Amino acid sequence: MAAGARATGVIPHALARLEVGHDGLTALHLVDSMHARKAMMADMSDGFIALSGGIGTFEELFEIWTWGQLGDHRKPVALLNIAGFYDKLTGFLDDVVTAGFLRDADDRR
């Protein structure tokens, strides 16, 4: 942002009351729920990149991937696998494909 990039935040009202908001964003949207947050972010996005993170990151990654499988969007979904953070997850996904629970065509890593 210091170099002129735009940054937009989307946060539920309840979470905004608990966390310190970022004052320097280009735009900040307050919404009623986490579901509304994810839907707004999905609508506004050109694609999705999962950085290293915790359970919330995993939940959002798999939800947006599922939305793509269901045809709700045709946007790219990617993992940024810094220092092998996602190696075990991608190995597990290989096992899921081998077990027949995920088609190769749906495995868009």
Total tally of structural domains belonging to the chain:
2
Q: How far apart are CA 101 and CA 89, in angstroms?
A: 15
pTM of structure: 0.80
Of 62, 67, 59, 16, the C-alpha closest to 43 is 67
Count CB neighbours of 98 within 10 A: 9
C-alpha 71/C-alpha 76 separation (Å) is 12
Domain of residue 3, residue span: 1-44
CATH of the domain at 100: 3.40.50.450
Question: Per residue in 24-73, pLDDT tens?
Answer: 899 999 999 999 999 999 999 999 999 999 999 999 999 999 999 899 99
